Copies of this chain bind each other. A is one copy, B any other.
């Protein structure tokens, strides 16, 4: 298959699914090895940077997804009733930062960093699909452990969790 066709198929597949599709799945469907495919996708990502395009490809945890260009959001807002923004309070953002860096983490560990109860924030973050339960801690009460989701990565423009900005040294 020539490279133009491969690019066309990738665009088509990402468009149809709407959800992230992994490099592995794409490689199986296209019968192209993952390394070659990754290079082609990176080229394709560059193609989309062209000012004539209104959509782009984002990478999240080794999967790829199509989304609209954020800089054109004002037009989307004009056409559609503005989609509810993520709307996180400062307290929720603080809670989210703590979870992002210290995951997996329990509620009481979050509370102790913030100095206040975080129940409401955690509920809100779960509701917004920013965090999820990732397990239970061994020990009394087996408290729930929280971690971040792929939605979190997407909304904060991170390919994976290691791309988080560095935490300023507080020692």
Partner-B contacts on A (CB < 8 A): 4-5, 7-13, 15-17, 21, 25-26, 28-30, 47, 51-55, 66, 68-69, 72, 75-76, 78-80
Contacts and interface: CB of A to CB of B under 8 A. Distances in A.
A120 to B, nearest CB: 14
A76 B4 contact: no
B16 A53 contact: no
Main secondary structure of the interface of A (DSSP, over half): helix
A28 B78 CA distance: 9
A98 B18 CA distance: 25
Interface centre among A29, A55, A79 (most CB of B within 10 A): A79
A26 B79 CA distance: 8
Given A4-B51, A5-B51, A80-B16, A75 B30 contact: yes
B55 A11 contact: yes
A21 B69 contact: no
Contacts of A75: 9, 12-13, 29-30
Contacts of A8: 51-54, 69, 72
Contacts of A66: 15
Nearest to A30: B75
A10 B54 contact: yes
28 contacts: A5-B51, A7-B52, A8-B51, A8-B54, A8-B69, A9-B75, A10-B54, A11-B53, A11-B55, A12-B54, A12-B55, A12-B68, A12-B69, A12-B72, A12-B75, A13-B54, A13-B75, A13-B76, A15-B54, A15-B66, A16-B68, A16-B76, A16-B79, A17-B79, A26-B79, A28-B78, A29-B79, A47-B52
